[in-house]
Structure 1
Amino acid sequence: MTTAAQLDDRYGRTRRRRGPWIVGIAIAALAVGAFGWMTVNQSMSSVDADDLGFDLVDEHSVEVRFQVTGVQGKDVVCIVEALDEEFGVVGWKLVDIAAGDSHSTAVSATVPTVAAATTGLVNTCWVA
């Protein structure tokens, strides 16, 4: 005679363990939370720089005007470059921008060059 336990084993009606499911769901929730926190943390310290224009002062310098938007109350550092007509870098400068009360700041920087430049621009900015 076949018992109920044998029938359950034969047709897959055994008790399922809940422990591995609970652990799996907890790990997935922690992973989603960590990813969310990394995303929020990165966006809180992101800096955006927009070129406003440039003036060729002479053969050895370019004045670059740009606007930095993003972090309020933290120092920011930007790399400003001068390029020649073949888009080669002929000069660059690190520009330190002190923390301010405004969400966006207009900045002007003079970049020394080793050859005649045709343009000037901001390469990148970050929170110092």
Structure 2
Amino acid sequence: MTTQAELDDRYGRTARPGRRRLLIAAGAVIAAVVVGWLGWTTVANTMDAVSVDGLGYEVRDEHTVVVSFQLTAPPGRSVACTVQALDQEFGVVGWKIVEYDSDGGHAMSRTETVPTVAEATTGLVETCWVT
């Protein structure tokens, strides 16, 4: 008759003393790498963050909207923004991409004129990004 020890030895079920420590160490290394990567991506995304506050708009005529806004960007970085004009049904009737060189400051106030193909009812800044 075959004993339990012989079966364990035959099918590789014998205990290895260093295996558990190796698995724990590998898990700790993987966890440290994941936490480090998440930390770095958070810092990198925050360094290039741009925030925009709309200050107002003026519909000058059926082909022109003036949009005023303030943006906060990382100092020393140039920024690009998409400015849009929308109609009553929130369809885009005009848009413009504008680029601003760094002036060394952190906050900038800007006013942009957006040409439209139909009469707009509002104007806004869709998004801004660091270039």
Calculate the TM-score normalised by the size of structure 2.
0.83
How many corresponding residue pairs?
Answer: 119
* Counterparts of 2:76 and 2:103, CA distance in 1: 5
Shift of 1:70: 2.5
Gaps of 5+ in 1: 1-5, 7-12
Residue in structure 1 matched with residue 111 of structure 2 by the alignment: 108
Question: 1:99 matched to which residue of 2?
Answer: 102
After the TM superposition, which parts of structure 1 deviate over 6 Å for at least 4 consecutive aligned residues? Answer: none
SS of structure 2 residue aligned to 1:63: strand
Q: Deviations over 1:33-88 (max 9, x none)?
A: 01100011001101111100011121111110011113111110000000111111
Q: Verify the 8 A CA contact 2:85 2:95 in the aligned structure 1.
A: yes
Counterpart code for 1:122 = V
Q: Give the aligned residue type for 1:23.
A: A
Partner of 1:27: 30
Q: Which residue of 1 aligns with 2:8?
A: none
Q: Secondary structure at the match of 2:102?
A: coil
Name the SS of the counterpart of 1:49 in structure 2.
strand
Give the letter for the 1:117 counterpart.
A
**Residue in 2 that maps onto 1:72:** 75
> Are residues 107 and 101 of structure 1, via their aligned partners in 2, closer, same or farther at CA, if it must alter by over 3 Å?
same
- In structure 2, the gaps of 5 or more residues are 6-14
Q: How does 1:1-20 map to 2 (within 5 A)?
A: 15=17, 17-20=20-23
CA distance in 1, matches of 2:115, 2:79: 21
SS in 1 for 2:44: helix
Partner of 1:53: 56
Please tell me the root mean square deviation across aligned C-alpha atoms, in Å: 1.9
